[in-house]
């Protein structure tokens, strides 16, 4: 079926494309408003497919500025799903992991989230299915293997589950189809577009939260901090995580920045988290296929102190401390281990599973 385009909008996007795609010496960065408009025209597919693909690759080559990222996030807020504030004693932790999954190390975040939910500290995650360019194992698929199928829930139901169980997941194909429509372009251009960076910065939660943004390359952290400052995100954490995720390594020093904005000014504290100082040094669990991943997850859920369980305690202990649930890192690690050993985390999994199943009927 052919798609008709508004000539005015196509011409508008053409001018924005010319700015970012004019080459090393003549290209210019977009203003926040221009980036917002460009992203809106892409997500609504008001630009032509040729224009969208050209913009994605040109913008990747140019590299996005923090101001451009702020504008793109403005559009995600305007067009994407938003979950209103829930009642709770602690801010919601929002884990912003790469949507294209993992290909070298096992994802720990789903288990971390379950532990935190068992500690009555709410966690919200976003994601999609298998996605280019990595086509790695995504967190949504791990949750589904554990019996938590978020793909059939509407936004109100996700909020209900988050409020009642302290765990929520915004599944992009169901709840943000405009963004999901951009996925085929990733495979066609063969590279992650700037939208992949937006995904590790975007939060659909509108209440008080700790937005955790993972990264691989240090410049990404700086862009995130500046973009969040421009958008006045009050409380966030940047983590040099495994494969750009929010998972803190046990094989090397964790590089973390604790950020908050006070009176419009960013205040940051650099934290170097040394696993050996807390008895957690060891290899990071390697990637396994889904069946084997679920097997080791189930082992950790009954309190076995294997590599996956230790990594989950290491991560959840830190994030419980960061959100104010405990007064020290040591207390966070102790609480996390206790919740695994006494069956509270497994009970939490069953509680979420039961509620989601009841909503699917």
Report the alpha-carbon distance of residue 49 to residue 201 in Å, rounded: 25
List, for residues 204-229, the tens digit of each pLDDT value: 999 999 999 999 999 999 999 999 99
Mean pLDDT within 268-272: 97
**What band does 1 get if pLDDT is binned at 50, 70 and 90?**
very low
List, for residues 127-141, the tens digit of each pLDDT value: 999 999 999 999 999
H or E element in which residue 270 lies: strand 265-273
Is the separation of the CB atoms in 211 and 187 below 8 Å? no
Report the alpha-carbon distance of residue 326 to residue 320 in Å, rounded: 6
Report the alpha-carbon distance of residue 321 to residue 254 in Å, rounded: 15
Mean pLDDT within 142-147: 97
List, for residues 162-216, the tens digit of each pLDDT value: 999 999 999 999 999 999 999 999 999 999 999 999 999 999 999 999 999 999 9
pLDDT-above-90 percentage for the chain: 95
Residue 214: CB atoms within 10 A of its CB come to 26
Report the alpha-carbon distance of residue 67 to residue 224 in Å, rounded: 10
In the predicted structure, residue 302 carries a pLDDT above the cut 80 = yes
Report the alpha-carbon distance of residue 31 to residue 306 in Å, rounded: 49
Residue 304: CB atoms within 10 A of its CB come to 14
List, for residues 22-68, the tens digit of each pLDDT value: 877 678 999 999 999 999 999 999 999 999 999 999 999 999 999 99
Instruction: Return the SS3 of 44.
Output: coil
In the predicted structure, residue 120 carries a pLDDT above the cut 70 = yes
List, for residues 322-360, the tens digit of each pLDDT value: 999 999 999 999 999 999 999 999 999 999 999 999 997
Q: Which residue has the higher pLDDT, 23 or 232?
A: 232
In the predicted structure, residue 2 carries a pLDDT above the cut 70 = no
In the predicted structure, residue 303 carries a pLDDT above the cut 90 = no
What are phi and psi for residue 102, nearest 5 degrees?
A: -125, 145
Mean pLDDT within 85-98: 96
**What band does 304 get if pLDDT is binned at 50, 70 and 90?**
confident
In the predicted structure, residue 91 carries a pLDDT above the cut 90 = yes
Report the alpha-carbon distance of residue 103 to residue 107 in Å, rounded: 9
Is the separation of the CB atoms in 141 and 321 below 8 Å? no
Question: What are the contacts of 214-217 at 24+ separation with CB within 8 A?
Answer: 214/96, 214/97, 214/98, 214/238, 214/239, 214/240, 214/241, 214/244, 214/245, 214/246, 214/247, 215/239, 215/240, 215/241, 215/244, 216/240, 216/243, 216/244
Instruction: Quote the pTM value.
Output: 0.96
Mean pLDDT score of the chain:
96
Q: Give the pLDDT of residue 85.
A: 96
Mean pLDDT within 222-251: 97
Is the separation of the CB atoms in 17 and 51 below 8 Å? yes
Beta pairing class for 123-127 and 167-171: parallel
CATH architecture of the domain formed by 85-361: 3-Layer(aba) Sandwich (3.40)
What are phi and psi for residue 335, nearest 5 degrees?
A: -65, -45
Beta bridge partners of 169: 125
Report the alpha-carbon distance of residue 124 to residue 130 in Å, rounded: 20
Residue 2: CB atoms within 10 A of its CB come to 4
**Domain boundaries along the sequence of the chain:** 7-62, 85-361
């Amino acid at each position: 079926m052919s798609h008709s385009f508004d000539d005015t909008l196509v011409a508008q996007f053409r001018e924005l494309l010319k700015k970012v795609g004019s080459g090393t010496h003549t290209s210019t960065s977009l203003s926040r408003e221009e980036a917002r408009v460009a992203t809106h025209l892409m997500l609504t597919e008001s630009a032509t497919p040729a224009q969208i693909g050209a913009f994605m690759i040109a913008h990747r080559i140019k590299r996005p500025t923090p101001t451009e990222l702020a504008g793109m996030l403005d559009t995600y807020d305007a067009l994407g799903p938003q979950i209103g504030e829930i009642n709770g004693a602690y801010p919601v932790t929002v884990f912003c992991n790469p949507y294209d999954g993992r290909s070298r190390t096992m994802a720990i975040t789903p288990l971390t989230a379950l532990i935190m939910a068992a500690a009555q500290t709410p966690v919200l995650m976003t994601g999609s299915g298998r996605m280019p360019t990595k086509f790695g194992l995504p967190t949504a698929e791990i949750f589904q293997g554990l019996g938590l199928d978020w793909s059939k829930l509407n936004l109100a139901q996700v909020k209900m589950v988050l409020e009642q169980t302290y765990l929520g997941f915004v599944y992009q194909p169901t709840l943000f189809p405009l963004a999901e429509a951009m996925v085929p372009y990733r495979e066609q251009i063969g590279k992650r577009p700037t939208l992949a960076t937006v995904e590790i910065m975007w939060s659909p939660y509108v209440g008080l939260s700790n937005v955790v943004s993972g990264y691989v390359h240090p410049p990404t952290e700086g862009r995130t901090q500046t973009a969040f400052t421009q958008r006045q995100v009050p409380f966030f954490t940047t983590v040099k995580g495994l494969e750009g995720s929010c998972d803190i390594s046990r094989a090397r020093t964790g590089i973390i920045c604790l950020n908050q904005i006070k009176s419009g000014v960013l205040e940051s504290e650099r934290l170097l988290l040394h696993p050996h100082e807390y008895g957690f040094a060891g290899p990071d669990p390697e990637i396994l296929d889904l069946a084997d991943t679920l097997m080791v997850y189930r082992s950790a859920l009954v309190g076995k102190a294997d590599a996956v369980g230790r990594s989950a305690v290491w991560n959840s202990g830190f994030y419980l401390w960061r959100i104010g649930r405990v007064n020290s890192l040591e207390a966070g690690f102790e609480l996390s281990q206790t919740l695994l050993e006494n069956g509270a985390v497994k009970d939490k999994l069953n509680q979420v599973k039961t509620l989601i199943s009841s909503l699917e009927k």
